[in-house]
Amino acid sequence: MNILWLQSAGCGGCTMSLLCAENPNVIELLEGAGLSFLWHPSLSIESGAQVRKILNDVESGEQPLDILCIEGSIVRGPNGTGKYHVLAGTGRSMLDWVQSLSKKARHVVAVGTCATYGGVTSAGENPSDAVGVQYEGAHRGGALPADFTSVSGLPVINVAGCPTHPDWVTETLLLLAEDALGEDQLDGYGRPKFYADNLVHHACPKNEFYEYKASATKLSEIGCMMEHLGCVGTQAVGDCNIRGWNGEGSCTRAGYPCINCTAPEFEEPGHAFTETPKFAGIPVGLPSDMPKAWFMALASLSKAATPRRIEVNATSDRITVPPSLKAPKS
């Protein structure tokens, strides 16, 4: 299968992340699955006129296209013209190109939260009037209509994340190559379930702190960041702490909160990213699927039961009290 990759209005970070794929690297991973880039802006040799020919051939139907990957949001401004992003050398807006080429692709994959839902490019006053390929924030219907399906019959596949984990992208492509990614394998926002059915909370190294609501009060303290520091790992989808990023990393492992970057409208949480909004001293957001009364009851009980080790460590910048060791049996 071939892949045409377009970089629309984003930072290019999902490609940079993709190049961090390991064991094997992205070139060998795709080669092994019979996938190849018809053109990729960071990897391919073709430049300028050669690229225009590829795009024109896909548009005319002369060049069949299996997978269209779109990275970055689609800008509609100013005044609906899309001229805030003219694809270099073509005189046409990226909005126009995306709408046109999407019709020709067997599958359309939106890579990253800009492409899926608008993302950071649509934050604040959204100066460029940016949207996702098939969503505007949490609402279906973006650069492409709500009912769009590609030639395969699938809607746009939304590999959300800011940036995307390299494996989320490569595994989506591998599943498409195997013809093994049906609509039932996408969640309610079009995200592949293989990563979106997990929460960032899963395998978070701060789980023991969470169990007792032993909270960090400032960045650099190692306690749970849900109560004070804006962490929404208990609500955010992603297997970040199960897989690890760039080796063994993740946001919470590095001591800063999960900001729900796989979700529509994460860019405007309605509060500072590193502060938890509270009502009467109680965090407003609840862990997914947790009834409020139970959460409150369990939280107050577990807080009261917090062992000293966990309480002290929560507000330290490293483990200061180690777990007690059992005495020898004899």
Partner 1 sequence: MTETSLLVGPFNRVEGDLEIRLDVTDGKVSAAYTNSPLFRGFERILLGKPPTEALTITPRICGICSISQSAAAARALADAAGATPAPEGEKTAALLHAVENLADHVTHFNMFFMPDFARPDYAGKPWHDRAVDRFTAAQGSALRVAMDARARLLHIVGLLGGKWPHTLAIQPGGVTRAPTMRDKVRISADLTAFRRYLEQQLFGGSVEEFEALTTVDALADWGRGDVALFMEIARDLDLAHSGQGAGRYLSFGAYPLPNGPIWQAGTWTNGIEGPLDTSGIAEDISHAWMLGDAAHPSQGMTVPDVDMSADAYSWCKAPRLNGLGYETGALARQVVDGHPLARDLAKQGGVLARVGGRLLEIARTQIAMESILADIDPKAPFMDRAKLPANGEGMGLVEAARGSLGHWIRIENGAIASYQIIAPTTWNFSPRDAGGTPGPVEAALVGAPVREGEETPLSVQHIVRSFDPCMVCTVH
Which 195-234 residues touch partner 1, going by CB under 8 A? 218-220
Q: How many binding residues for partner 1 (CB under 8 A)? A: 83
Exactly one of 84, 99, 202, 242 binds partner 1 (CB under 8 A); that residue is 84
Which of residues 308, 318, 326, 329 is near partner 1 by CB under 8 A?
318
Is residue 273 packed enough to be buried (19+ CB in 10 Å), middle (13-18) or exposed (0-12)? Answer: middle
Stretch that binds partner 1, among 24-32, 60-68, 281-289, 300-308 (CB under 8 A): 24-32
Span interacting with partner 1, options 25-33, 147-155, 176-184, 283-291, rule CB under 8 A: 25-33
Return the structure tokens found at 87: 């694809």
90 makes contact with partner 1 (CB under 8 A): yes
Residue 18: CB minimum distance to partner 1, A: 10
- Give the range of 9-17, 133-141, 179-187, 299-307 binding partner 1 by CB under 8 A: 9-17
Three-class SS of 9-50: ECCCHHHHHHCCCCCCCHHHHHHHCCCEEEECCCCCCCCCHH
Known binding-site positions for [4Fe-4S] cluster: 11, 14, 114, 162, 201, 204, 224, 231
Closest CA to 148 of 131, 160, 164: 131
CB 38 within 8 A of CB 3: yes
Site string for partner 1, 101-140 (x = CB under 8 A): ------------------xxx-xxxxxx-x----------
Task: Tell me whether residue 52 or residue 303 sits nearer to partner 1 (CB atom).
Answer: 52
- CA dihedral angle for residue 147, residue 148, residue 150, residue 152, rounded to 10 degrees: 0
User: Which residue bears the tokens 């073709």?
Assistant: 46
Which residues 6+ apart lie within 8 Å of 15 measured at CB? 5, 7, 40, 41, 42, 71
| Known binding residues | 11, 14, 114, 162, 201, 204, 224, 231, 240, 258, 261
**x/- map, 285-314, partner 1, by CB under 8 A:** ------------------------------
Integer Cα distance of 132 and 1 in angstroms: 25
Residues 29-68 that bind partner 1 (CB under 8 A): 37, 39-52
Check: CB of residue 222 under 8 Å from CB of residue 318: yes
- Residue 251 or 263 with smaller CB distance to partner 1: 251
